[in-house]
């Protein structure tokens, strides 16, 4: 086994103490609300810096991110470093009471590196080598590139690891593309050899007798982005995850021994956090805090989508997170780069905080005079003066300053969770069986009624501890290995309610079809099974205890096998194989209950079905019913709760609170009734026991 293969194995087995003996220090990001922007002093004469920082300080900025694209400014030629400009920028920020997060510049290797060492460049799936002039043009698996990265990061850590004005480190910027070069293919084959031990074991797991795919030598196994054997495709995703994990770990290993324990380490995930290039849970495991970059792009804020993704990000480490970049009005990469309306930037920032963000930073502070993102929205124009959005940015900064002490140390909490795994997401992506089966939409079909009815939802890995939850929903847990089945079964038997959605339990850990019918290893617990699954090309009626409505896109024919299994919903009479068959089953098990919903319901019936399950699990909304378009979020501290209300609707909304709460954004008066204008925000404080 090569050293690299061993590192990849450790990265895949992310929870193994053999791989990571020392736990990272606890994140320190919640001591206050952080507010800021990405600042690129290397792009501007130093005479302009003080004006930038003065405008930041006036807007309530207390943190900037610098350096993540500055390799050529930090190391102009091989082995020759220039930190003088960064020294000066950090000290000037300090004079304006602004802390610094340093981004390691490994997303943008300098031209001297890629020119002298072209083997570090990435090869795409078509065999084309990347060229200099963009970013992320490196091969994430290249040992030589990693050597250069580690040397650069070590130099930065040595210089700034004990700087009191540096509070954290961001590794790279938005990890993205894999490489398909010959060296990476060899690493993939070595990694598979370590994972399976023998080709016989691999051939059996992948059922390679199908289409005569059987391998007689490890070198025959391809590395490709094309569709193929589901077992191979799943392992490729595991390998990509493990490779990015070890890429990140390479820099963690350079930072951790050289920096103060209070300096956190993160890596920011791109605005499309739902993409499944790799497993976000595994990548984030060795980091101190998760961070991501939410953008709207074309159109306007979709509050439900942004809330869901924020909860999803919080679930990566099951703790508060950072928004390391967000949209200052508009972007430059959408089909139509329209601006968000007045108030939307504020609403989006506060929604992030409500769902667990301890920091909101905008990208970027000031327009670069040249480069690929000239048209991207900013807070300051190329002349160094504020753009119109700066006024709203400044208002939010003042609000963050006013509420920071009260919000510090608080976290969202919920009795309800939505479960997912990347294996399940990948498996369905590989074989969707219906172009209409949109996994994100399926999750949102569950999330929206849960958010409306409970005001608090966790989105977590199915392997996370579940004891704290009264009820968990697993909308499409396609891959259920035996160990996961046992964990879910134990959760139910000890008093929890598990609600499975369609396509659950179809596959095992190798992406093979389970020999048991769905839900596979949970079929006995359910006391029922799926006789057959169907992609639907028509809408069917469905009715039961939750009411009457319609089902579409996907349907499963369920049969109760145990005497205490109960049919909750049944398809109406129709011309398909699903005519009058069961669409949902439930069964008590131990002290809890398992439910299986085998189709996708219309929004009204879905809300009623979810509400029925919540009622049976004794989960009630802590704030009661709210006007349409009003979102409620709660962050809990040791002695008080922070309640954030946002009116995403187009008309004013009147809200009556269950008890008087302190208006943290107003004059600190107690309020019981309030009116929120469109895009209006209220931040309220209530003591425990009130």
User: Could you give phi then psi for residue 407, rounded to 5 degrees?
Assistant: -80, -25
- CA atoms of 155 and 1, how far apart (whole Å): 31
Contact 526, 498 (CB under 8 A): no
Helices (H), 512-587: 523-526
Length of the chain: 690
Residue 9 reports pLDDT greater than 50: no
139-187 pLDDT per residue, tens = 999 999 999 999 999 999 999 999 999 999 999 999 989 999 999 999 9
In the prediction, which pLDDT does 690 show? 65
Residue 22 reports pLDDT greater than 70: no
- CA atoms of 332 and 580, how far apart (whole Å): 51
- CA atoms of 429 and 423, how far apart (whole Å): 10
Contact 582, 595 (CB under 8 A): no
Contact 571, 558 (CB under 8 A): no
Strand partners, 656: 673
In the prediction, which pLDDT does 11 show? 44
Residue 29 reports pLDDT greater than 50: no
Structure tokens at 337: 């780069």
427-477 pLDDT per residue, tens = 999 999 999 999 999 999 999 999 999 999 999 999 999 999 999 999 999
User: The tokens 């589901």 sit on which residue?
Assistant: 230
Indicate the Cα dihedral angle 133, 253, 8, 463, nearest 10°.
-110
In the prediction, which pLDDT does 148 show? 98
Strand partners, 593: 497, 588
- CA atoms of 424 and 476, how far apart (whole Å): 7
Label residue 625 by pLDDT band (50, 70, 90): confident
In the prediction, which pLDDT does 663 show? 95
11-25, 62-76, 539-553: segment of lowest average pLDDT: 11-25
592-618 pLDDT per residue, tens = 999 999 999 999 999 999 999 999 999
- CA atoms of 291 and 267, how far apart (whole Å): 6
Contact 127, 90 (CB under 8 A): no
- CA atoms of 598 and 504, how far apart (whole Å): 9
Cα–Cα nearest to 570, from 583, 579, 553? 583
- Beta strands 653-663 and 681-687, pairing class: antiparallel
373-416 pLDDT per residue, tens = 889 999 999 999 999 999 999 999 999 999 999 999 999 999 99
Cα–Cα nearest to 7, from 21, 19, 24, 17? 19
Contact 402, 665 (CB under 8 A): yes
Structure tokens at 416: 């309800």
- Beta strands 540-544 and 547-560, pairing class: antiparallel
User: The tokens 């894999």 sit on which residue?
Assistant: 178
Residue 350 reports pLDDT greater than 60: yes
Q: What is the mean pLDDT of residues 478-501?
A: 98
Sign (positive/negative) of CA torsion 208, 210, 216, 221? Answer: negative
Task: Give yes or no: 174 in active site.
Answer: yes
Helices (H), 421-475: 422-430, 439-454
Whether residue 435 is preceded by a cis peptide bond, meaning omega within 30 degrees of 0, is no
Catalytic residue among 285, 325, 351, 556: 325
Residue 8 reports pLDDT greater than 60: no
Q: What is the mean pLDDT of residues 306-321?
A: 97
Strand partners, 644: 633, 683
Label residue 668 by pLDDT band (50, 70, 90): confident
In the prediction, which pLDDT does 353 show? 98
Label residue 30 by pLDDT band (50, 70, 90): low
User: Could you give phi then psi for residue 207, rounded to 5 degrees?
Assistant: 50, 55
Structure tokens at 223: 């590395």
Contacts by 663-670 with C-beta closer than 8 Å and gap 24+?
664/402, 664/403, 664/406, 665/399, 665/402, 665/403
Contact 574, 563 (CB under 8 A): no
- CA atoms of 31 and 167, how far apart (whole Å): 12
In the prediction, which pLDDT does 395 show? 97
Residue 28 reports pLDDT greater than 80: no
Residues 6+ apart with CB under 8 A from 300: 338, 340, 341, 344
Strand partners, 558: 530, 582
CATH architecture classification, 33-180+245-407: Alpha-Beta Barrel (3.20)
In the prediction, which pLDDT does 17 show? 30
Q: What is the mean pLDDT of residues 291-319?
A: 96
Contact 648, 627 (CB under 8 A): no
Contact 476, 428 (CB under 8 A): yes
Buried b (16+ CB within 10 A) or exposed e, 236-268: bbbbbbbbbbbbbbbbbebbbebbeeebbbbbb
In the prediction, which pLDDT does 1 show? 42
240-267 pLDDT per residue, tens = 999 999 999 999 999 999 999 999 999 9
Compute how many other C-beta atoms are within 10 angstroms of the C-beta atom of residue 670.
14
Mean pLDDT of the chain: 94
Contact 525, 594 (CB under 8 A): yes
Catalytic residue among 174, 344, 399, 581: 174
Residues 6+ apart with CB under 8 A from 556: 502, 518, 530, 532, 533, 534, 583, 598, 599
To the nearest whole percent, how much of the chain has pLDDT over 70? 95
In the prediction, which pLDDT does 622 show? 84
Label residue 536 by pLDDT band (50, 70, 90): very high
Contact 585, 519 (CB under 8 A): no
1-10, 49-58, 134-143, 507-516: segment of lowest average pLDDT: 1-10
In the prediction, which pLDDT does 272 show? 74
Contact 662, 402 (CB under 8 A): no
Residue 55 reports pLDDT greater than 90: yes
637-650 pLDDT per residue, tens = 999 999 999 999 99
Label residue 666 by pLDDT band (50, 70, 90): confident
Domain 416-616 has CATH 3.40.50.880: yes
The CB-side HSE value for 527 (13 A sphere, CA atoms) comes to 16
Label residue 679 by pLDDT band (50, 70, 90): very high
Residue 2 reports pLDDT greater than 50: no
Label residue 621 by pLDDT band (50, 70, 90): confident
DSSP 513: B
pTM of the predicted model as reported, rounded to 2 decimal places? 0.94
Residue 3 reports pLDDT greater than 70: no
Label residue 61 by pLDDT band (50, 70, 90): very high
* Domain residue ranges in the chain: 33-180+245-407, 416-616
């Amino acid at each position: 086994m090569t050293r690299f293969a061993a590192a990849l194995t450790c990265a895949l087995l992310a929870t193994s103490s053999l791989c990571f003996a020392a736990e990272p220090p606890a994140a320190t990001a919640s001591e206050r609300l952080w507010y800021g922007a990405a600042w690129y002093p290397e792009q501007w004469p130093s005479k302009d810096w003080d004006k930038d920082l003065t405008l930041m300080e006036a807007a309530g900025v207390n943190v900037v991110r610098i350096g993540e694209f500055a390799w050529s400014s930090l190391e102009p030629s091989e082995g020759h470093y220039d930190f003088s400009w960064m020294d000066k920028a950090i000290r000037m920020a300090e004079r304006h009471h602004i802390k610094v997060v340093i981004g390691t510049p490994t997303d943008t290797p300098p031209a001297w590196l890629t020119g002298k060492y072209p083997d570090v460049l990435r090869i795409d799936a078509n065999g084309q080598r990347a060229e200099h002039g963009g970013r992320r043009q490196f091969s994430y698996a290249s040992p030589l590139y990693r050597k250069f990265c580690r040397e650069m990061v070590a130099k930065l850590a040595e210089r700034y690891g004990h700087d009191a004005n540096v509070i954290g480190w961001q590794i790279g910027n938005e990890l993205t593309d894999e490489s398909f070069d010959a060296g990476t293919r060899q690493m993939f084959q070595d990694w598979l050899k370590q994972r399976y031990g023998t080709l016989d074991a691999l051939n059996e797991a992948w059922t390679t007798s199908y289409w005569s795919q059987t391998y007689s030598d490890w070198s025959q196994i391809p590395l490709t982005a094309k569709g193929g054997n589901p077992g191979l495709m799943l392992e490729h995703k595991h390998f990509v995850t493990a490779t990015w994990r070890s890429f990140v770990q390479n820099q963690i290993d350079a930072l951790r021994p050289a920096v103060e324990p209070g300096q956190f380490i993160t890596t920011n995930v791109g605005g499309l956090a739902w993409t499944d290039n790799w497993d976000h849970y595994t990548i984030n495991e060795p980091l101190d805090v998760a961070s991501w970059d939410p953008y709207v792009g074309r159109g306007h804020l979709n509050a439900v989508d942004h809330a869901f993704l924020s909860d999803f990000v919080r679930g990566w480490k099951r703790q508060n997170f950072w928004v390391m970049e967000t949209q200052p009005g508009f972007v430059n990469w959408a089909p139509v780069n329209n601006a968000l309306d007045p108030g939307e930037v504020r609403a989006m920032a506060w929604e992030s905080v409500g769902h667990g963000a301890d920091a909101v930073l905008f990208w970027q502070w000031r327009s670069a005079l040249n480069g690929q993102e000239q048209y991207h929205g900013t807070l300051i124009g190329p002349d160094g003066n504020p753009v119109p959005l700066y006024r709203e940015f400044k208002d939010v900064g003042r609000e963050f300053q006013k509420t920071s002490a009260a919000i510090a140390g608080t976290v969202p909490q919920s009795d309800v969770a939505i479960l997912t795994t990347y294996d399940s997401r990948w498996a369905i992506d590989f074989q969707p069986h219906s172009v209409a089966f949109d996994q994100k939409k399926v999750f949102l079909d569950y999330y929206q009624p849960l958010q409306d009815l409970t005001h608090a939802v966790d989105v977590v890995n199915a392997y996370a501890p579940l004891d704290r939850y009264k009820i968990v929903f697993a909308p499409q847990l396609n891959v259920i290995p035996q160990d996961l089945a046992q964990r879910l079964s134990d959760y139910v038997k000890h008093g929890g309610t598990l609600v499975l959605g369609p396509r659950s339990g179809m596959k095992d850990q190798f992406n093979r079809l389970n020999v048991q019918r769905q839900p596979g290893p949970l079929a006995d617990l359910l006391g029922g099974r799926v006789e057959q699954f169907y992609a639907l090309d028509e809408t069917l009626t469905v009715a039961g205890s939750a009411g009457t409505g319609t089902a579409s896109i996907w349907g499963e024919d369920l049969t109760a096998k145990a005497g205490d299994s109960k049919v909750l919903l049944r398809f109406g009479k129709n011309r398909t194989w699903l005519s009058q068959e069961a669409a949902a089953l439930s069964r008590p098990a131990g002290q809890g209950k398992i439910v299986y919903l085998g189709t996708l319901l219309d929004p009204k019936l879905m809300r009623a079905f979810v509400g029925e399950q919540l009622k049976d699990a004794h989960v009630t909304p802590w704030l009661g019913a709210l006007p349409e378009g009003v979102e409620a979020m709660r962050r809990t501290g040791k002695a008080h709760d922070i309640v954030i209300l946002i009116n995403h609707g187009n008309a004013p909304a009147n809200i009556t609170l269950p008890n008087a709460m302190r208006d943290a954004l107003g004059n600190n008066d107690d309020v019981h009734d309030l009116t929120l204008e469109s895009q209006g925000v209220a931040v309220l404080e209530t003591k425990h026991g009130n």
